[in-house]
A and B are shown apart, each in its own frame.
Chain A
Amino acid sequence: MTTEFLPEPIVRIRDNPVLIAQARRRFRRRKTIPALVIAFVVAACALLLAMTSGKPEDWDFLTCVILGFIGVLLLLRGTTAVQATVSEERLSGLLDFHRATPTTPLTDVLGYVFGPLALDYAIVGVLTPFLLVSTACGEVGVVRGFAALGVILLSGVLYHALACLTGLSVAKGWNATLVLGLAIVALHAVTLSVATDGPLAVAHLTPWPAIVSILDVGDSPTSLAAPIAFYGITLSPAIFSLFLQGTLLAFVVWGCTRRMRMQGATTFSRPGAFLFFGILAFVVIGGLWPSALAGRDDVLHGLELTVMAWFVLSMTLATILGLVLVPSFLEVKRTLRRAVERGEDIRWHHDGAPVLPLVPRLAAVVWAGLGVLLVAAVGQNLTFAPTPGGLILAVLATLAFLAFVLASCEYVRLRFRRAWGGMALLVLFLAFILPWMLAGVFAATDWGDGMGRFVAAMSPTYAVFSTVGHLVLPHLSSEDPYEILAICSTAVAASVSLVFFVLGHRLREGLARELRPPG
């Protein structure tokens, strides 16, 4: 009899082989029955207690306890379980067998995101009827109670996808599991103890703002449940959290599929990274929008603070994304190989392409964000009136800074290959830490502050700090002429970037010659 094969869909949900295998493994373990029985008995006892009391607030308390327990189960235990499973199977080679089957990476990712938690979902299933009773008997109500459960499940999927990505990326499985677990605990501790409002609060990476606003129970920490002002529109924290977490989930799953498809692939493609940067910028600007329109306090106009916050956040994001996109030696080789074989030019969006074309694009997002914020503030009585010279200098400083970071990192990765980390640390120290340390030393000695500033100007960060600082907060900046040093600092950063770029380009040329077929 000839074996018949089904066409492979983009994603398999019902007959997902990884999911079924992982679930079978979890249900086979000896702790399965005891875990389910314990969950049932404890929930039943709690239900009986609430029934005995009969007060609505006791039912609501029971609802909160059940939701809290499910949260801890899925968000903490579940996340570390997914990370440990993926990491273990990657290191043992089992993951390679799944890669070497016709199933799509998305099917495998779904299997790993849901499969290792089969037992946890079964426990949630055991608790669900109790949640139904407690919400029906309390003030919360069934709809709101199950909406809160839905929020936890969505957050859980985000955390589990993130854990899958960590498992596919990080070399040392156990260390990563520990760090991930601690990070989740820290995030939730910060959220629940120092509850802050606003769209930029890290609390929105947890389900709690959405849950508190959905349940709207008694003495909840109101700042968590405060409405979100986003681009001037007032949003429920639940809607905002769902939007933010859903968007992040889409990107994390995308990253997982790239890494599932090929070991060593970058998490994002370059266009994907820019899309991600764009969406993050959209969220950040939306969050800063109301403060851009706020009035002046004693010292600062709301817009000035907003612009500074935007610069810090966007430059940090641009630098991190830029560094993530710096190709490894192997990626460069593979890109060159494809270009040689297909007779194509290497475009900026190819994984192993040079990084310098990314610099103006990253800077463009930073400055476009500033433009949007300024447009938002049109008509306000502003003290923020940048001069064309100061603006051009600030733009050049950001360009030089990003060029320095990316070009130096690219050269170090190509030149030192496997051992690039140590050299990158040295460059980081020499460029970003040493000048400021020496500046501090000079400022404290007879050499004076002037010499210290001159030394600090050797760091590419000096130009960014001084130009953006003078641009945004001219009335708070010192009276000293800063332009000369800023120009020097920008010129130094640009020159060093150019040197790194030329050296990196020569390494690429050498590799391309090596790969070109003879003749």
Chain B
Amino acid sequence: MEALLTVRKLRVDYEDVTAVDDVSFSIEAGTVYGLIGPNGAGKTTLMRVIATLLEPTHGSVRVAGIDVLDQPREALRHIGFMPDLPPIYEDLTVREFLDLFASASGIVRAQRPGRIADLLERVRLTEKRDQLAGGLSRGMKQRLFLARTLLHEPDLLVLDEPASGLDPHARVELRDIVRDLGQAGRAVLVSSHILSELADFCTSVGVMEQGKLIASGRIEDVARRIAPGLPVEVRLLAPDDRLATVLGTWPGLRDLVVDGGRAVFRLDGPPEDAARLLASLVQQGLPVVEFHPREGNLEDLFLKISDGRVS
């Protein structure tokens, strides 16, 4: 299956800085790909090239098999781009704003009202449809723009910092929408420098730093590559000095951090090793109340592979 988005050896230079340097990755349908990196890492530049707004110095970008440099207009049929802090026409109503871009996307006139109504329902702005866009709250504007991005049913969504400035409730809504889009077979490229935001809905990640993509792939795969072994967390009923002693001598155990009655570490080998370790802890009389594989944490991951300049 051909990937929906293929970026190959992409490089983008400004007059005095290389913003994106030799970046290659691909995204398949149904993937929500999180682009992680500190401010200035080159995420926005990369997204603007994909959205045909910037010509790269070198390399290629293909969306649904179409080269965005050679056939930008055809490629744009498949791309929905939502920039960071999207500006809107404050003196158009919500419906007029969407109608403008429905028309610009080439949707036939008869279908526009129905399509706009569906999307307003989806982003829960139906009641606001005749209100001026300038009167919407920040979160509503963000949802309005998301609706605009989805108007032409793009195969690839490029969302640059979509949750910045949103309240927790709006973030949950956004997360659900993005997750649904992924499940509906769209490919979503979403960037953020706030990692907790991405952790909930990304299936794959790419880590950018100083213009380079320093890691890319499914979260588990990246985590395994960066820090091999099963991440495990153990919690005792009460702190016990023997915990550090037992774990410290266990073969194949690494990255051990003991904090009172809690320990986190990575365990090499098959899952049976984890079962043997748990049995050993119990046999030695340690009051184990929790022993479980720890969820991959994007923040830990990022800090492992970057120099830690993340928000």
Say whether, besides A15-B103, A21-B96, A417-B15, A4 and B53 are in contact (CB < 8 Å). Answer: no
The answer to whether B92 and A101 have CB atoms under 8 Å apart is no
The answer to whether B53 and A99 have CB atoms under 8 Å apart is yes
The answer to whether B52 and A99 have CB atoms under 8 Å apart is yes
Instruction: Find B76's partner among A28, A102, A341 (CB 8 Å cutoff).
Output: A102
Determine if B153 is an interface residue (Cβ-Cβ < 8 Å): yes
Instruction: Find B106's partner among A5, A18, A29, A98 (CB 8 Å cutoff).
Output: A5
Cβ proximity bits A389-418 to B, threshold 8 Å, 1 near / 0 not:
000000000000000000000000000011
Determine if B73 is an interface residue (Cβ-Cβ < 8 Å): yes
The answer to whether B76 and A92 have CB atoms under 8 Å apart is no
Question: How far, in angstroms, from A328 to B15 measured CA to CA in the complex?
Answer: 9
- Tell me the residues in window 463-516 of chain A with beta carbons closer than 8 Å to chain B beta carbons: 515
The answer to whether A101 and B108 have CB atoms under 8 Å apart is no
Give chain A nearest CB distance to B67 CB in angstroms: 11
- Tell me the residues in window 69-113 of chain A with beta carbons closer than 8 Å to chain B beta carbons: 92-94, 96-104
Say whether, besides A100-B81, A262-B55, A330-B14, A20 and B100 are in contact (CB < 8 Å). Answer: yes
Residue of B nearest to A107 (CB): B104
Chain A binding surface, main DSSP class: helix
Instruction: Find A21's partner among B15, B16, B92 (CB 8 Å cutoff).
Output: B92
The answer to whether B92 and A334 have CB atoms under 8 Å apart is no
Instruction: Please indicate the chain A residues that have their CB under 8 angstroms from the CB of B97 in the complex.
Output: 21
Cβ proximity bits B47-67 to A, threshold 8 Å, 1 near / 0 not:
000011111111010000000
Determine if A114 is an interface residue (Cβ-Cβ < 8 Å): no
- Tell me the residues in window 3-31 of chain A with beta carbons closer than 8 Å to chain B beta carbons: 3-8, 15, 17-18, 20-21, 24-25, 28-29
Instruction: Please indicate the chain B residues that have their CB under 8 angstroms from the CB of A6 in the complex.
Output: 106-108
The answer to whether B13 and A263 have CB atoms under 8 Å apart is no
Give chain A nearest CB distance to B135 CB in angstroms: 13
Question: How far, in angstroms, from A418 to B16 measured CA to CA in the complex?
Answer: 7
Question: How far, in angstroms, from A98 to B103 measured CA to CA in the complex?
Answer: 11
Give chain A nearest CB distance to B90 CB in angstroms: 9
Determine if A160 is an interface residue (Cβ-Cβ < 8 Å): no
Determine if A350 is an interface residue (Cβ-Cβ < 8 Å): no
Question: How far, in angstroms, from A101 to B73 measured CA to CA in the complex?
Answer: 7
Determine if B280 is an interface residue (Cβ-Cβ < 8 Å): no
Instruction: Report how many residues on chain A are interfacial, defined by Cβ distance under 8 Å.
Output: 42
Give chain A nearest CB distance to B61 CB in angstroms: 13
Determine if B137 is an interface residue (Cβ-Cβ < 8 Å): no
Question: How far, in angstroms, from A102 to B72 measured CA to CA in the complex?
Answer: 8
Instruction: Please indicate the chain B residues that have their CB under 8 angstroms from the CB of A329 in the complex.
Output: 15
Instruction: Find B108's partner among A5, A102, A262 (CB 8 Å cutoff).
Output: A5
Instruction: Please indicate the chain A residues that have their CB under 8 angstroms from the CB of B58 in the complex.
Output: 337, 340-341, 515
Cβ proximity bits A136-150 to B, threshold 8 Å, 1 near / 0 not:
000000000000000
Determine if B89 is an interface residue (Cβ-Cβ < 8 Å): yes
Of B109-117, B222-230, B258-266, the segment with at least 4 beta carbons within 8 Å of chain A is B109-117
The answer to whether B91 and A263 have CB atoms under 8 Å apart is no
Residue of A nearest to B73 (CB): A102
Say whether, besides A21-B92, A96-B83, A8 and B101 are in contact (CB < 8 Å). Answer: no
Question: How far, in angstroms, from A24 to B114 measured CA to CA in the complex?
Answer: 21
The answer to whether B106 and A25 have CB atoms under 8 Å apart is no
Give chain B nearest CB distance to A107 CB in angstroms: 9
Question: How far, in angstroms, from A304 to B224 measured CA to CA in the complex?
Answer: 84
Give chain A nearest CB distance to B102 CB in angstroms: 8
Say whether, besides A21-B92, A102-B104, A334 and B55 are in contact (CB < 8 Å). Answer: yes
The answer to whether B87 and A94 have CB atoms under 8 Å apart is yes
Question: How far, in angstroms, from A328 to B57 measured CA to CA in the complex?
Answer: 13
Question: How far, in angstroms, from A328 to B14 measured CA to CA in the complex?
Answer: 11
The answer to whether B52 and A21 have CB atoms under 8 Å apart is no
Question: How far, in angstroms, from A508 to B105 measured CA to CA in the complex?
Answer: 40
Instruction: Please indicate the chain A residues that have their CB under 8 angstroms from the CB of B186 in the complex.
Output: none
Question: How far, in angstroms, from A25 to B134 measured CA to CA in the complex?
Answer: 12
The answer to whether A5 and B103 have CB atoms under 8 Å apart is no
Instruction: Please indicate the chain B residues that have their CB under 8 angstroms from the CB of A99 in the complex.
Output: 52-53
Residue of B nearest to A96 (CB): B53
Question: How far, in angstroms, from A123 to B108 measured CA to CA in the complex?
Answer: 32
B residues at A contact (CB < 8 Å) = 9, 13-16, 51-58, 60, 73-74, 76-77, 79, 81, 83, 86-89, 91-92, 96-97, 100-101, 103-109, 111, 114-115, 148, 152-153
A6-B106, A21-B97, A28-B92 known; 9 other A-B pairs, CB under 8 Å? A3-B153, A5-B107, A7-B106, A15-B103, A17-B100, A97-B86, A101-B104, A102-B76, A337-B58
For this complex, 10 residue pairs linking A to B, each with C-beta atoms less than 8 Å apart, are A5-B152, A15-B103, A21-B92, A24-B96, A28-B91, A29-B91, A100-B51, A103-B104, A330-B57, A341-B60
Nearest 10 A/B pairs, CB to CB:
A101-B104, A17-B103, A418-B15, A17-B104, A417-B15, A21-B100, A92-B87, A5-B106, A6-B106, A4-B108
